[in-house]
Amino acid sequence: MIAKTYIFGGLSAFAALFLEILVNQSLQKVIITLPRLIEENLSVFIGFGVIEELVKFFFIYLVVRKSPYFDEPIDAMVYMVTGALGFAAAENLFLVFSGGQESIFLVILLRFVGATLLHALSSAIVGHYWARGIRFNIEGKFIFAGLVLASIFHIIFNYLVSEFNNFLVYPTAFLAILGFFVLYDFEELKKMG
């Protein structure tokens, strides 16, 4: 099930890419009258972050929800992180093969460390909320809250990377802080049983 979740996480990256291209093209047609800065922010920061979080969750949910191996709430967090790592791996490979030699170094430096960790942490947040929803028998509301939070964190990270492109202390510090909260959430779930 772990391998299947990882593979479906990777497949979700291609679905997200397809949706991001569609959204980007649609936004360029619809909001042509808005200033360029707003258009770029809508598509890259907001649109891409939200799309990636929703698509990752949808693919992983389809794979694990009815599985007999999904038998305790903490599994939601484990499977979400596993799928997110598959997503990040596929996204990174796509970026390596679509660029030139110089892009390989940038992908290794920025993507393998920053974006991979972001995907794992944001999906862990969704998994934590999903697990709490299972525990309290209100999955839908908790999943929605997790997706909103994960999308917000994804948007903030995208913004920090874009604004401080040559100074990666801010995005790195952001991920470190987020990581502490995710570790706390994981320990909380283990105690809940």
Binned average pLDDT, 10 residues per bin, the chain of 193 residues: 96 93 71 53 70 96 94 93 95 76 62 84 96 92 96 88 76 91 89 73
Report the number of distinct structural domains present in the chain: 1
Q: According to the model, what pLDDT value does residue 169 have?
A: 83
Range of the domain at 120: 2-192
Q: Which of 55, 16, 57 is nearest to 140 (CA)?
A: 57
Reduced 3-state DSSP string for the chain: CHHHHHHHHHHHHHHHHHHHHHHHHHHHHHCCCCCHHHHHHHHHHHHHHHHHHHHHHHHHHHHHCCCCCCCCCHHHHHHHHHHHHHHHHHHHHHHHHHCCHHHHHHHHHHHHHHHHHHHHHHHHHHHHHHHHHHHCCCHHHHHHHHHHHHHHHHHHHHHHHHHCCCCCHHHHHHHHHHHHHHHHHHHHHHHHC
Neighbours of 96 (CB within 10 A): 15
Tokens at 174, concatenated: 């952001």
Neighbouring C-alpha atoms within 13 Å toward the C-beta of 79:
27
